[in-house]
Amino acid sequence: MQCAGQSLASSRRDFLARFSFGFGGMALGHLQAARTPPNPLAPKRPHFPAKAKSIIYLFMQGGPSHVDTFDPKPMLQRFDGQSVPASFNSEGLSLQNLRVSEAKLMGSRRTFKKYGQSGLDVSDLFGNTASAHADDIAVVRSVHHEAFIHGPALNLLYSGSIRTGFPSAGSWVVYGLGSECDNLPAFIMMSDGAIGGRSRNSYSSGFLPALYQGTVLRTEGAPLVNLSPPPGMTAEDQRAVLDQLGNWNRLHLQGREDDSRLEAQIANYELAFRMQTAAPALVDTSSEPEHIRKLYGLDEKPTEKFGRLALLARRLVERGVRFVQLVSTDWDGHGECDKNHTSNARKIDQPIAALITDLKQRGLLESTLIVSVGEFGRTPVMQGKEGRDHHPYAFSAWLCGGGVKGGKAIGSTDDFGFRAVGDPVHVNDLHGAMLSLMGLDHLRLTYPFNGRDFRLTDVGGTFNFADRLRA
């Protein structure tokens, strides 16, 4: 028995001696796995199958007039210069800076005509887009919300809430689907004008982790500030610095796990390291063939600036960027609205038509959802000298690609374009449709904050508007 016991003890000691390093390795691997969180930007499965994998959000900041672009109003033309009929205002229509009883109707100065096999009515402001793609786009003429002022209205269109501090639509999409590109940000914002306080809200991650915030890409000079390493620093030196910095940051993160800014900073350092090659190549359009430069109007004024943005948008979704936001910044036509809109349309109409054409030729349109909208429409009555005031009661948007069936107009406004009367589409419904076309259920895409689950559509998105767009 004693010999047997000694033999058993010996075999145990031998077993532990032989395999102790294996146990240690298992423990070390477990600890490393625990210390290395899963990549929150890794691609995620959608809630259900969908054609769209990327979104290009074309934002006409300032508010384009629906009755001068995508919503023709023959009755408005007929009553041009006259007072609003008393019978029409029986429900007590309220405007921001005008009394309806004193206002004069103002017909459009543009020419509408039917385009494509579908006969879609579009004004000559967007003649290039309509001539080439009337049968590809679905116009929504009954978008509406409740905010007269730019700030709250922009918040609604960008984040689904009238208040500040909420995540933008792009952040929600990246939170729901992650990124398919390792060398570029998943959410990129570009603008043809100065990026002020209003524009910054457009790419904010709000209360979502800071990793999901959009990145502003500059189209002239260095794509990002401080992207290039200091002169004389080799890639090996930079890698060593980043590794050490990452170790210190991860140590600092312990006990501060609720602060997502540091986690985002760690990820951003690594992304910036990878972007040093990808970003300069992205913004260098010199390799594009002459017919592409001509298509986008890169060598002609006034299309060169927005044409470059549109071309970069194509290159970004081609590389797997999930959400691209292009902002045209000057549609606030309080005075001489037609002059304002004519100038702006000359800058963007050809580039937008080119973008759709280019995506279509490359087989990318079905996997890319394009959405074009502003923060509100403009009044059917005159303000000042041939101007139009803000108008949230009814305005237009259009969508293309990503499973959208084009060549149709959805919803309608009254005879003068004051109210959305047929199939009204609230901004929450529009956002819900954008998510649905990407394979995300807006009711399931939630994030806990301040004691409750929030979503892009807040408590709205009352019907599945995406079904109307697909049909």
Can you tell me which residue has the tokens 């501090």? 165
Q: Indicate the residue type of 275.
A: M
What local confidence, expressed as pLDDT, does residue 300 receive? 94
Q: Are 365 and 355 in contact (CB under 8 A)?
A: no
Q: Are 395 and 144 in contact (CB under 8 A)?
A: yes
* Angle, vertex CA 434, rays to CA 433 and CA 436, nearest 5: 60
* Angle, vertex CA 247, rays to CA 241 and CA 248, nearest 5: 90
Q: How far apart are CA 110 and CA 30, in angstroms?
A: 68
What local confidence, expressed as pLDDT, does residue 137 receive? 98
Mention every residue, 6+ apart, whose C-beta is less than 8 A from residue 24: none
Copy the structure tokens of residue 168: 């933008």
Helices 337-361 and 304-318 pack at an angle, to 10 degrees, of: 30
List the domains of the chain with CATH numbers.
Answer: 54-470 (3.40.720)
Please give the model's pTM, rounded to 2 decimal places.
0.85
Q: How far apart are CA 359 and CA 183, in angstroms?
A: 21
Copy the structure tokens of residue 161: 């809430």
Length of the chain: 471
Copy the structure tokens of residue 11: 């075999």
Of 100, 108, 101, residue with least CA distance to 65: 108
What residues are paired with 408 via a beta bridge? Answer: 138
pLDDT tens track, the chain, 471 positions: 444 444 444 455 554 444 444 444 444 344 344 444 567 788 999 999 999 999 999 999 999 999 999 999 999 999 999 998 887 765 667 787 777 778 899 999 999 999 999 999 999 999 999 999 999 999 999 999 999 999 999 999 999 999 999 999 999 999 999 999 888 899 999 999 877 666 677 999 999 988 899 999 877 766 665 556 666 666 665 566 666 666 766 776 676 666 656 666 666 665 665 666 666 778 888 889 999 999 999 999 999 999 999 999 999 999 999 999 999 999 999 999 999 999 999 999 999 999 999 999 999 999 999 999 999 999 999 999 999 999 999 999 999 999 999 999 999 999 999 999 999 999 999 999 999 999 999 999 999 999 999 999 999 988 789 999 998
